[in-house]
Structure 1
Amino acid sequence: MLAIIGGSGLTQLSNMEIERREVVRTPYGEPSGALAFGRVCDEPVVFLARHGYGHTIPPHLVNYRANIWALKQAKATGIVSVASVGGIRADLAPGTLIVPNQIIDYTWGRKSTFFEGGDTPVRHIDFTEPYDETLRHRLLAAIAAAGDSAMDGGVYASTQGPRLETAAEIDRLERDGCDIVGMTGMPEAALARELELPYAAIGVVVNYAAGRSSSAHGIHFDDIELVLQESMVRVRAVLEGLCHV
């Protein structure tokens, strides 16, 4: 059963036949909301809204450990993350879909591991390739099957939030080799790896990052909302396509 974590703009799956909702308790507290179990194209799926179903949880306060633990406990076999991102590269315009293959973590202060000492031995995970390649290629195949296109690969910069970045910070991220910027990619990806859950992400570019192109002198939030509405229709079609690849 595939798990889908919805980010900004995707607090529910309108194409999902919901069979039940389940409030889950974990050793790490409560996840962002109840897990929704159901089917997309007759395939079993469990869905979780990362920021809560009312989009009330900011990125730095998401209980990532509880979210990932709950999905593992629900017997998910893999996780697809949907996230809105800013485009750093000039060719990553609003509306672009991207399936990243690398990540750089700029967050701080977040609970980022299940291994915190005590009676549990520390486990060092291999994070050379942070996204599961098999699931990445399934996503790319689903995008193609939906008649859409996406950038294959890219470096996701995970920043702290909830504020957006300065133009100078985006310049730094570009020098570091980052292509897109978001706020929720870490520690989510690493926690999934710790629990041996295949994890991949589909990023929806909703704006140029600060200091770039139409965002040269500021971010236009009304424009972001329009891109989100249009792009999430495409994302839902992609998630339906996952059932056939």
Structure 2
Amino acid sequence: MSRPAAQRPRLGLIGYGAFGRLTARHLSPWFEVLAHDPAATAEEGDAARLTDLATAAACPVVILAVPVEGLAQTLSAIAPDLQEGALILDVGSVKVGPARLMAEHLPAHVQTVGTHPLFGPQSARDGIAGLRIAVCPVRGDRIARRVAAFCRHALKLKVFLVSPEDHDREAAVVQGLTHLISRVLLSMEPLPTRMTTTSFERIMQAVEMVRYDSPAVFRAIERENPYAAGVRDRFFDLAARARADLDDGAAAQASSGPPVGSLGSSGSPAS
């Protein structure tokens, strides 16, 4: 149940792309959402009101829905307008770097928490209840626990309260491999759609969930996560070993002649 407009605190939303709009839609029952994004235009049914950067930054709660590569510049831009005691959160796909940037660039009189909703517009198209979110303390555990409680009770999300380091270690595998494999499969299109197996269809469902993610999301997951390179190296090393095993097996088979019972050129078992 949403609060009456007069009782809703203001929430500044910096960044109003696809994920920013998703954020506004699900937070508007509890907050009056004021969004800033130079590239955004107002649309019918918007859950947020577009405003200037200073006004959005002056809200008691500010969410940063900007690419990780632009976070430092955004933090410097909003710092002069932040209220004392304001809560600043980011929603980026990596947490170690953003946590460090928020600690360095934001004034000591604000509270900061890192969050990573483990879903996007595609996976959340039927609602967010039951989906997952990581909440990472940046300046103390108390405010992070309050954010976690709101996500759990108000938004009905499954919450993981973890350190930025633990988040990035797991995300390097969970997101890093998913996006890497999906990017390769997208480059191989068109792929079969007729005689498919259930396992192949599930792989393609994962591909569809990230198909329309911006290039900035892929760069953040693969470049900004300090643990992603190690996961990629291990994946490519194991893939190379699997390829070598197959090549060695093919070479051994060729040197020993055709297997017993194999088909000849006529389609009959070879004699």
**Structures share a fold, TM > 0.5?**
no
The structure carrying a bigger strand percent of its residues is 1
**TM-score, normalised to structure 1's length?**
0.37
Query: TM-score, structure 2 length as denominator?
Result: 0.34
From the two aligned structures, give the one with the greater helix fraction: 2
Structure of greater relative contact order (alpha carbons < 8 Å, 6+ residues apart) = 1
Instruction: Mark the structure with the bigger radius of gyration.
Output: 2
